[in-house]
Chain A
Amino acid sequence: MLLSHFVKIYDNMNCHLYGKLIYNKLIGTALLIVLLLLNMKHAKTNIFEELPDSLNGWTSENVILLNDKVSLYDYIDGGAELYISYGFKKAVSRKYIKQGQPEVIVEIFDMNTSENAFGVFSNTRYEEDSSFGQGSQYVEGALLFWKGKYYISVMTTEETDESKGLIYKLGRIISERITETGNRPGIIDLLPSEGLDKSSILYFYHYIWVNSFYFIADEDFLLIGDKTDAVLAKYGSQGNRSYVLIIQYDDNETAGKAYNNFINEYFPEGEFRAISQLEDNKWMSVKLIDNTFYGVFNGITEEYVSALLSDIELTYKKINIDYK
């Protein structure tokens, strides 16, 4: 549009030399404007500054910036550790108030990577839809979602029609203004799809979360530490649940140590079998493939655990074509 406009101006100048000089200047300016516009379109949004000061009669005066662990501790005390365990970088909080309505609090966490943002989300949601961002859950006055490297919470202490309306509105604004999307952690691709409860996938890299679905042990004998990628997921339906744990180590040696720790602690009398039945009559198995530890727990039958293990191996082969 801009270029054609300048071309028309040039034509009207009848190719005069002076006109040519002007033409060159105009073309240069036009190109500069186009480049600036393109740059603006693709510039990363600073979502921390994008929250409105007022909306539908609700106002927000204070912005609280949480730019380190200490300020996060001050803000949510022990709750801060969850975010720190997923690589918290910084966050912003705004409180919206309106006469006669409960307050609505918005918190946007910059988790540094999309994998971390998904991780926090996966740790707290138990159902998932795609209404907001790259995955969300709404629970009676609380909207939680993730998009790109951000994890977002919009909540009220008391759900009313108005406070719920504001939560949805703010959720949409934030979701639209975060222009970047991001990937979920690659380790999730190792989960077989058959029977997987997708809303249960829990990604983590801090050993604290290994017992999230099923108590395995009270110490970090699987050597997860605070930087080893791991994922937990539920298979089957309520009343017939099995749990899959996958841990991907930096090297085969650590993976081997973790595997041996498991065998030694769970089967100290050497009674380990490829698929074992525990004293609660449930079946389980652990397997080591290269640098990756697999555990299948709480299986109703030996056959089910065996089938799940086969799926695990097939999935691994598809992703790691060198695996033999």
Chain B
Amino acid sequence: MTKRILTRRQIIKDATKAGIGSALLLNPGINLFGSDVTKTRVILIRDEKAVDTDGNPDPQTIQKMLDNAVQKLTGGADIKESWKKIIRREDIVGIKSNEWGYLPTPSALENWIKKRVIEAGVDANNISINDRGVLSDPVFQKSTALINIRPMRTHAWSGVGSLLKNYIMFTDSPSSWHPDSCADLAKLFELPMVKGKTRLNILVMLTPLFHGVGPHHFNKKYVWPYMGLIVSLDPVAADSVGLQIIQAKRKEFFGEDKPLNPPAKHIYLADTRHHLGTADLKKIDLIRIGYKEGILI
């Protein structure tokens, strides 16, 4: 064997020396317009009023959370300026959502993003919200900018349904991305319809799913009101933070380590193999805003 593979022992040894994932390659980062910020910054924002007792999102609260997170992420003086650091007025914007029936992207968030993009100067006709129909959507077909948004959940084959996995609808053969438990999902970001277009990633952690049973991999017993949003320019970093929270919840719930089955290796490989972003928590500038109880990270 010439290629060194990643074993548990290697991870333990690296952690002893310089922190888990010290061998991971640092992503060069994504430049904001008119900014020299290149750090892998991730905003984790939570609000205890984000969902009601039935888990339904409160539109006003989650809109405020999103605004606050985007402003903190971009460093804009106000909301409008913050969005202008992400979106140009001439952009054609695809908002890549997720319509999975049991845990879809809340429409209040989709619509709020659209409103903010319009306020940034984009014509409403040049904005589309879509998931499974992106390939035939004229706006997505000629898009110059993408906003990636979805709820995080465990997944029976890829470990988690992540921001990385959310782009699987940009291919007409999703199952061809399944080998090795979806190891190479990061390559989706190299597809012509996608490459270089992603401006913002929002991992919805309002009521994440931390475990799944049965063919549909959903049970209300395994969702909990985390009441958070994870916002970043780097989908790998956002996914990595979300993954840590899911793992921590599993340990809390089951009373012992219960690794995702199978592991969400596509997030790790998005960094080490495909260099799309950074999965190494030690290299992520995680900014926590708001409600701290039960934050799990």
Contact = CB atoms under 8 A, between A and B. Distances in A.
Nearest to A82: B156
The majority secondary structure among interface residues of chain A is: mixed
Contact of B220 (A137, A140, A219): A140
Contact of B9 (A126, A144, A278): A278
A94 to B, nearest CB: 13
B175 to A, nearest CB: 5
A216 B213 contact: no
A218 B5 contact: yes
B156 A79 contact: yes
Contacts of A278: 8-9, 12
B7 A265 contact: yes
A140 B221 contact: yes
A209 B261 contact: yes
B155 A124 contact: no
Nearest to B183: A218
A76 interface: yes
Given A211-B259, A238-B255, A141 B6 contact: no
Contacts of A174: none
A217 B216 contact: no
A78 B155 contact: yes
A221 B1 contact: yes
B214 A221 contact: no
A224 interface: no
Interface in B249-266: 254-259, 261-263, 265
B230 to A, nearest CB: 22
Contact of A142 (B15, B213, B258): B213
A215 interface: yes
A266 B268 CA distance: 20
Contacts of A155: 214, 216, 219
Interface residues of A, number: 52
B181 interface: yes
A211 B219 contact: no
Interface residues of B, number: 44
Contacts of B259: 211-215
B291 interface: no
A123 interface: yes
A144 B5 contact: no
B34 interface: no
B256 A141 contact: no
A210 to B, nearest CB: 9
B219 A140 contact: yes
Contacts of B11: 215
B182 interface: yes
B215 A153 contact: yes
B64 interface: no
Interface centre among B9, B15, B265 (most CB of A within 10 A): B9
Given A73-B175, A82-B156, A217-B6, A144 B214 contact: yes
Interface of A: 73, 75-83, 105, 107, 109, 123-126, 137, 139-142, 144, 153, 155, 157-159, 208-209, 211-219, 221, 238-239, 241, 261, 264-268, 278-280
Closest 7 CB pairs of A and B: A81-B157, A140-B221, A218-B6, A153-B214, A279-B12, A79-B156, A212-B261
